[in-house]
Amino acid sequence: MKKLYFLVLLMMTTMTVKSQNPFFEEYKTPHNTPPFDKIKNEHYEPAIDKGIENHKNEIKNIIILAAEPCFENTIIPFEYSGKLLSRVTSVFFNLLSSESDDEMMEIAQRIQPKLSDHSNEIYLNEDLFNKIKTVYDKRNNSNLTNEQIRLVEKIYQGFENNGAALKGADRDKFKELSSKLSQLTLMFGQNTLKETNKYEMLITQESDFEGLPQSERDAAAMKAKSKGKEGWLVDLSAPSYIAFMKYSTRRDLREKLYMAYCTKCILGGEFDNQQNVKDIANTRLQVAKLLGYPDYATYVLRNKMAKNKEGVYSLLDELYDAYAKAAKHDVAAVEEYARETAGQTFKLQPWDWAFYSEKLKDAKYNVNDELVRPYFELENVKKGVFGLATDLYGITFKKNTNIPVYHSEVEAFDVLDSSGNYVAVLYTDFHPRESKRQGAWMTEFKGQYVEDGKDSRPHVSIVMNFTRATDNQPALLTFDEVETFLHEFGHALHGMLTKCTYESLSGTNVEHDFVELPSQIMENWLTEKEYLDKFAIHYNTGEKIPAALVQKLVDAANYNAGYLCYRQLSFGYLDMAWHTLQTEYNGDVLTFEQDAMNKTALLPVLKNTNMSAAFGHIFSGGYAAGYYGYKWAEVLDADAFSLFKQTGIFNKKTANSFLQNILEKGNAEDPMTLYIQFRGHKPSVDALLERNGITR
């Protein structure tokens, strides 16, 4: 009797816990958005365990079905499986990047192996793969639509990529390697965040802030005050670091800050990532070889627009040659200016670049961040960025305070079409926090798909690390920050305006060398007076940004274009060097990096600095063997925007074509096909060279 009582009590307790877990209940929120106000750390693991259990049962039902495999009984149930698991992990991993804490990091370490093992169980299930392959083999003779064929191909490729064709011991090895890789990349990202947050430079004499604008001094004072410290605090968050490097006249402090930034995760201790870098690169190589490829880049690139590593190097090398003269000229000009300013014996070092480059830019064009900032007050910029989408695509944004958010600084908006119909939810998260990783990104809590005839619309988020308001003025953004806002908002439009049937093909689920086109094209409007006049208004006087200042921005748009291109190329070459390894590397990480980036080095190379150990894009993000995609997409966006320049930057016909052929289509068709449908021809580097004023 006692045993029965305790069993009933246990069942009741379990039921109570489940009922209190918001992931197990229907979200009673606007548009079924995540109830962040109810989600606690303790809810993640039970929900992930249940999500894995449900997903296993859904996969089992596909496998045991006796009927001949077809699109409807195999591909469709596979595509729509795992909803609970996706619901939980999309919240957890997004917040792990934007609103994390030590407990979440510990949870991540525990759940990552579970998720990796679960993924392996699915993709290495021979019976399931055989069913998928049956549908794949007859896809072109099954009366399927182009989008359905695309879905079959992408699912089949997913199985191939995850080792489904392997047999016996090779399958077990793949499981081991993929589990190891997921743990390594997670640890890499966590170490980088912790190391970044650890560093602080406390300044106690205001004279040590010589050169910095008052707004930056106020921000540093606020940061110190928030930490309970007297003085001014500078750290490695983007607004703080960039401003100090650009404006501080204290060369010794610039050097100190630069060295802190460029030695992240290489100085030993618990957050050192050097071994993780080698382990990640070597594990990826083992995965590629196990799957029959000579290196990881070949494995990754075969389905990208570039097709292979030769295609990547062809682009990088063409730009390297085209921009060589301009890049060397840019550096020589800054060096000469520095010597004229600081003395003929002065030797320009990396920590001098931002400072003297900014000074020369101001001298040449009489334009700098402090001249422009007053016209880029955050609330006005939001109106301008949102307004561009209204002008081009007819959508509007209405703040919805009833939608729960994960931090008090986050805002949520209903996105509506020209008829007032609901299109998507957009979350915005603008400012740095210790709980947030560096950089800027777009993500989603729910993708778009159609099920049972109903279009389930997406929940999209853009996350940045922009300058905060101070006690004396609102948040005033730099030109680069506004450009970043437009960039991430372009990704958001891709995610919000998609009109696909299947979530795995919708929105930004496209190849990495295509995904940056919708984001980078948005940056082009920022030097157009017709656009700036809509929102660039002085926060004090209400004056529109003067035409003369806009012309200075236009004139300065190509300032250091050669240097900046080489900088991006250096990252692309480094990425490819790590991922074209054909034998394991166990040497020195710093030496490897310097060898990889040597050809693009324009400033003195410091032997005791390194970026690989904190290069999250390729070691903890999704850009391994894909960083070249930024330059690839730059070629695309320059060519694409040239059509807007021809027809008018707000031309509805051109905008509608971009909407229908690029933004709405997601991955429903081959990206080159979609691009040609919009532009009428394949892209070339010519438009980019012309935009940058580069002569071959």
pLDDT of residue 695: 84
Q: What is the DSSP letter of 456?
A: E
How big, in percent rounded to 5, are the helix, strand and coil portions of the chain? 60, 5, 30
Tokens of 588: 């020195």
Cβ pair 234, 241 in contact under 8 A? yes
Please tell me the distance from the alpha carbon of residue 593 to that of residue 570, in angstroms, as a whole number: 10
The residue behind tokens 């690169």 is 281
In a 13 Å sphere around the CA of 194, the CA atoms on its Cβ side amount to 15
CATH architecture of 373-507: 3-Layer(aba) Sandwich (3.40)
Residues of the chain with CATH 3.40.390.10: 373-507
**Helical segments of 227-291, H only:** 238-247, 251-262, 274-290
Please tell me the distance from the alpha carbon of residue 174 to that of residue 180, in angstroms, as a whole number: 10
Please tell me the distance from the alpha carbon of residue 535 to that of residue 529, in angstroms, as a whole number: 10
Q: Which helix (H) or strand (E) holds 200?
A: strand 200-203
* DSSP bridge pairs for 537: 544
Please tell me the distance from the alpha carbon of residue 555 to that of residue 571, in angstroms, as a whole number: 27
User: Residue 608: helix, strand or coil by DSSP?
Assistant: coil
Please tell me the distance from the alpha carbon of residue 664 to that of residue 417, in angstroms, as a whole number: 14
> 118: alpha, beta or left, given left = phi > 0 and alpha = psi -120 to 50?
alpha
> 534: alpha, beta or left, given left = phi > 0 and alpha = psi -120 to 50?
alpha
Residues of the chain with CATH 1.10.1370.40: 2-165
488 is catalytic: yes
With 0-12 / 13-18 / 19 or more C-beta atoms within 10 angstroms meaning exposed / middle / buried, residue 436 is buried
**Helical segments of 477-587, H only:** 479-496, 512-515, 517-520, 529-532, 547-556, 561-579
In a 13 Å sphere around the CA of 285, the CA atoms on its Cβ side amount to 19
pLDDT of residue 13: 44
Q: Which helix (H) or strand (E) holds 411?
A: strand 411-416
Torsion 272-274-277-283 (CA) sign? negative
Please tell me the distance from the alpha carbon of residue 427 to that of residue 408, in angstroms, as a whole number: 12
Mean pLDDT by 10 residues, the chain (696 residues): 43 50 96 97 98 98 97 98 98 96 95 94 95 97 96 96 93 93 95 94 93 91 93 94 96 97 96 98 98 97 93 97 97 97 95 97 92 96 98 98 98 97 98 91 98 97 94 93 97 98 98 93 96 96 94 92 97 98 98 97 94 96 94 95 97 98 97 96 93 88
Question: Which CATH number applies to 2-165: 1.10.10.10, 3.90.320.10, 3.90.1150.10, 1.10.1370.40?
Answer: 1.10.1370.40
pTM, to two decimals: 0.87
* DSSP bridge pairs for 193: none
For the chain, the distance separating the N- and C-terminal CA atoms, rounded to the nearest angstrom, is 89
Catalytic residue among 99, 335, 488, 523: 488
Q: What is the DSSP letter of 21?
A: -
In a 13 Å sphere around the CA of 535, the CA atoms on its Cβ side amount to 22
